[in-house]
Chains A and B, each alone.
Chain A
Amino acid sequence: GQQLNQSPQSMFIQEGEDVSMNCTSSSIFNTWLWYKQDPGEGPVLLIALYKAGELTSNGRLTAQFGITRKDSFLNISASIPSDVGIYFCAGTLPSQGGSEKLVFGKGTKLTVNP
């Protein structure tokens, strides 16, 4: 099936540092989404991207939909301890017979040291 390559797999940073993670694929995606998942909880939507080249911010988070539609990145500025969690990228492939399923990356586990 389709695959998203998300990197890095894990990050250990100091509070206040900036963070960057990305997802790439050999396939073209219609939509890119970034989710954060805390332990024992469901993923929470952070940012949704709908157009190639789109750059969107949500507070200290910024994400971009790659111009080739095959990649996306998420930046977190001035990290704080509550940023700890697993970040997932997800994308929707061009519709096939009305089916619009999400494909998920394997996640980036972020640890922030106070």
Chain B
Amino acid sequence: EADIYQTPRYLVIGTGKKITLECSQTMGHDKMYWYQQDPGMELHLIHYSYGVNSTEKGDLSSESTVSRIRTEHFPLTLESARPSHTSQYLCASSDSQGLEGNQPQHFGDGTRLSIL
């Protein structure tokens, strides 16, 4: 089982607040990802990083930002939360391509965010 941790698990907060969702992995994976998922729906990639100081936007436009200063840490920040940001945010990591091809992504348990 993968060792990837997200905090907080749940967050209910008012509009306009600055929020940082934490994601850490202890496997030394160089690739990390953030997904947004509404209940019962598919996952949409919003950010990814292939290494330290490397970040890219995903397929779904998001007002959030990310940083990758250390290999194990990939926090996501919302400068001013709005109700439209209410969703579940999932972090994942994977190792570089190996002999078997693309290494699968392993997910944290997510942060369920509710903006009032």
With a CB–CB cut-off of 8 A, which chain A residues contact B90? Answer: 42-43
B41 within 8 A of A: yes
Say yes or no: A31 contacts B45, CB within 8 Å: no
Q: Give the total of A residues in contact with B, Cβ under 8 Å.
A: 26
Q: Are A42 and B109 in contact (CB under 8 A)?
A: yes
| Candidates B41, B43, B58, B97; contact of A43 at CB < 8 Å | B43
Known contacts A42-B90, A100-B97, A101-B48; decide if A88 and B106 are in contact (CB<8 Å). Answer: no
Binding site for A on B (CB under 8 A): 6, 33, 40-45, 48, 50, 56, 58-59, 90, 92, 97, 100-102, 104-110, 112
Can you list 16 A-B pairs, Cβ within 8 angstroms, ordered by A? A30-B102, A33-B104, A40-B112, A42-B92, A42-B108, A42-B109, A43-B107, A45-B104, A50-B101, A88-B43, A98-B50, A101-B45, A101-B48, A101-B59, A104-B44, A109-B40
Q: Which residues of A contact B (CB under 8 A)?
A: 1, 30-31, 33, 35, 40-45, 48, 50, 86, 88, 92, 98-102, 104-107, 109
